[in-house]
Amino acid sequence: MATTAMPRTAARGGSFLIESCRPEDVFTPADLSDDQRLIGQTAEEFVMKEVVPLANDLEQHKAGLMPSLLKKAGELGLLGGGVPEEYGGSGLDKISATLLAEKIAVYASFAVSHGGNSGIGTLPIVYFGTEEQKRKYLPKLATGELLAAYCLSEPQAGSDSLNALTRAVLSPDGKHWVLNGQKMWITNGGFADVFIVFAKVDGEKFSCFIVERSYPGFSVGGEEKKLGIKGSSTVPIFFENCRVPKENLLHEIGRGHIVAFNILNVGRFNLGAYCLGGAKRVLAVAAKYAKERTAFGKPLGQFGLIREKLAEMAIRTYAIESMIYRSAGMIDLAMSAAGSAADKTQQLMKVLEEYAVESSISKIYGSEVLDYAVDEAVQIYGGYGYHEEYPVARAYRDSRINRIFEGTNEINRLLIIQMLMKRAMSGALALIPAATKLADEVLAGPQFEEASQGPLAEEERAVTNAKKVFLLSAGAAVQKYREQLADQQEIVGALSNQVMEAYAMESSLRRAQKAVAGRGEAASAALVDAARAFIYDAADRVEKEARKALAAVAEGDMLRTQLAVLKRFSKREPVDTIALRRRVAAAVETGDRYPFEGR
């Protein structure tokens, strides 16, 4: 297992909303160890050399090509990161696994196939398998000798996955489960050997099974014709009296939802990392093109509106990168704090559940940053952006799926608030005392505030205030709707957006502060510019979302009072974000790539 310099204390999941951490407590890409960097480098080199040159063949579904590339990746140890060493994997720490996912994402179809196999296809056995199941499957899944798929969705049950119709009944001789039903949109289904399948025992008890391709009654439909990730396999799967050995029940009867949701939790976190890799790649491609293509006698990259796009792509990528590595660092720290626990995988699952809010943020924010980046890349390419021969058209199409699978972004937005409320009610997260304290502060009226001092002091204040704004609007919404808040989805969405922005703002700020402390202001100038531009605009977004929520919750004098409080917490000094972005664009231009790699 790779080692790394870690901050000292692991924050509780979601606690970023009510606590302030120190820069040195936040893991950043600058803290990656040499071992971790090597893992990232191996993954990137493999995809660049072995996969990208074959992208056109992969997009045509050349028979056997994707599985053979996955197997090659397996031989290099790129599939077994989630598998413990005793079962033939490399048992990577979360930070290394995150870097691996990020670097593999150069070609989206490969990333999706990798995730379908090594993430959601393999991890259910790692976390929930019996000793026999682990010994039978994991060593072969870790090396790519066997490839895996995860079968949860059905034609009528995607987001609403517990509404599955696939049934399992025990055969009269008690030796087999007999499965009947259909799964839909199964990644890797065209070639996988092992399938994690969810079905209801006796049509009622949602459960999970390990199904092999060779089992009688198992069949696979034709490849779906998709908008993007055309190099990946997506098929329906049919079970017609499919006979599954009794011992292939995974976990317990009626506890399939525990398997499904815990695994999706991991999948969501990783999806953010894949999106981060995709965003960096498309920024590099667009930056290079902006230098090469001329219009009106000069390179596109010299036009302010193009520079602004390149800068914003880098800034949002910086924000998502700061969040994802911070979260990965917290997960590893929490794991090492539980170092003596007898069952490491059970412990890891608990830790991943602890950071479920951060995982949903990774998924939503990552997929939306990538969507933004590919869209602007097409714009920078102009008419050629619309041609399939140029790389950005594919990136544009490939990006779109990320907002849909692993729980749609709507479902994840709802989950963020649902999970926070649950943690608040159980006392795991002190949101209620924090809201009460804020109410006291509001009642006490505006206090004399000393002018902010030093670099990033204004940004520090903006982060603190963003959290207060969330508590203000969430408190008002909970007070009005109480247990019925979940029915007010637009309000929940507005609250969720504030949560995400607060995490993005603080993660961006802490990374910039840590960079300044480590390397000095001059060497960190562009990174600080990116953080400042991001925080300034994010604070606007927080204010807007809070105003939307408050206006739906209160009216008359009460609303006016709350909006006055909102104004107080949203007050800030103007910042010349155009100048900041010009400097970030210059940093992009220097290397024709994302300028904060490993920093």
Ligand X SMILES: Cc1cc2nc3c(=O)[nH]c(=O)nc-3n(C[C@H](O)[C@H](O)[C@H](O)COP(=O)(O)OP(=O)(O)OC[C@H]3O[C@@H](n4cnc5c(N)ncnc54)[C@H](O)[C@@H]3O)c2cc1C
List residues with catalytic annotation. Answer: 406
Least separation, in Å, of the C-beta of 370 and ligand X?
A: 15
Q: For the chain, how many residues are written?
A: 599
Comparing CB distances to ligand X, the nearer of 187 and 513 is 187
The answer to whether 505 and 541 have CB atoms below 8 angstroms apart is no
The residue ranges of DSSP E strands in 126-175, in sequence order, are 148-151, 167-170
Q: How wide is the angle at C-alpha 253 spanned by C-alphas 247 and 254, nearest 5°?
A: 160
Nearer Cβ to ligand X, position 98 or 153? 153
Query: Which is closer to ligand X, CB of 32 or CB of 356?
Result: 356
Q: Rank residues 235 and 310 by Cβ distance to ligand X and give the closer one.
A: 235
Closest to ligand X by CB, 30 or 404: 404
The residues with which 210 forms a beta bridge, in sequence order, are 196
Compare residues 36 and 360 and give the one whose CB is closer to ligand X: 360
* Minimum separation from the CB atom of position 413 to ligand X (A): 9
- Minimum distance between the CB of residue 168 and ligand X, rounded to whole angstroms? 16
User: What are the two backbone dihedrals, phi and then psi, of residue 319, each rounded to the nearest 5 degrees?
Assistant: -65, -45
Cβ-contact 33, 4 below 8 angstroms: yes
Three-state DSSP class for residue 218? strand
The residue sitting closest to ligand X, measured at its beta carbon, is 158
Tokens of 446: 């505006």
CA distance linking residue 144 with residue 134, whole number of Å? 15
**Binding region for ligand X (CB under 6 A):** 116, 150-153, 158-160, 185-187, 226, 229, 234, 401, 404-405, 408, 410-411, 489
* CB nearer to ligand X: pick between 16 and 185: 185
Minimum distance of ligand X from residue 268's CB (angstroms)? 11
R_g (Cα) of the chain, nearest Å = 24
DSSP letter, residue 456:
T
Least CB distance to ligand X at residue 405 (A):
4
Burial letters 424-442, b for 16+ CB under 10 A, else e: beeeebbbeebbeebeeeb
- Give me the least distance between CB of 415 and ligand X, in Å please: 10
Residue 100 token pair: 């691996």
* Residue of 186, 164, 192, 82 whose CA lies nearest to 126: 82
Residues in CB range of 384: below 8 A, 6 or more apart: 390
Task: Give every CB contact of residue 542 below 8 A, 6+ residues apart in sequence.
Answer: 466, 469, 470, 497, 498, 501, 502, 505, 570
Count the Cβ atoms, other than its own, within 10 Å of residue 99: 31
Measured between alpha carbons, how far is 320 from 312 in angstroms, rounded to an integer?
12
| Per-residue CA distances from 46 to 107, 110, 578 (Å) | 11, 11, 39
